[in-house]
Amino acid sequence: MLGWIWVNAGVAIIAPIVGLGVVLLVHLLAGGDGGLSKDIIDRIKLVAPFRDGQLGYIAVGWAVAAYHDLHEWQSGKISVDWVSDVDIALFLLGGLAGLVAAFGAVSPLKPLAVGATRPRLFSRAGFKRYILAIASIVLSVLVLCIMIFVRLKTTGKI
């Protein structure tokens, strides 16, 4: 029952962290000469794959998966009134998540200067620094909820 959630949500969220771990492992196995400077290694954190809003790409994938599941279930049946509402929500949220991810990809966060203090999240500087990450998390949670709703409505199980 939880296999569907694990495959669709867990793997998508954990895969970037695993990928980052593989990069660090290759660097360490190469004797610290894996092409990454010490400065870069010191700044890599587990949240690095999501910091610039890259979770938005996962939300786009979830939106497409939910859209596909919904219309595969709908094909050949009488139209159900809530399907168009879900379509609009998936299109808007998935599109916005894609824009957030694309914007984060073309203008990633600049690393903090050595010795600089990290701004608090709930300060103006912190909000500006982490807005893409926050937006991608919120959009991803909303799309995941819609994807679970679609799954429950179309199959009756997760």
Q: What is the DSSP string of 101-113?
A: HHHHHHSPPPPPP
Tell me the C-alpha distance between 89 and 76, whole Å: 23
Per-residue pLDDT of the chain (158 residues; tens, 9 = 90+): 566 777 777 777 787 778 777 877 777 777 665 566 666 666 666 666 677 778 888 899 899 989 988 988 888 777 778 889 999 999 999 999 999 888 877 776 666 666 667 666 666 666 666 788 888 889 999 999 999 999 898 888 76
Q: Rounded to 5 degrees, what angle do the CA atoms 118, 123, 129 make? A: 55
Please state the pTM of the whole predicted model. Answer: 0.73
**Of the candidates 53, 139, 152, which has an alpha carbon nearest to the alpha carbon of residue 89?**
139
Domain range for 70 is 3-155
Which one-letter DSSP state was computed for residue 8?
A: I
Number of structural domains in the chain: 1
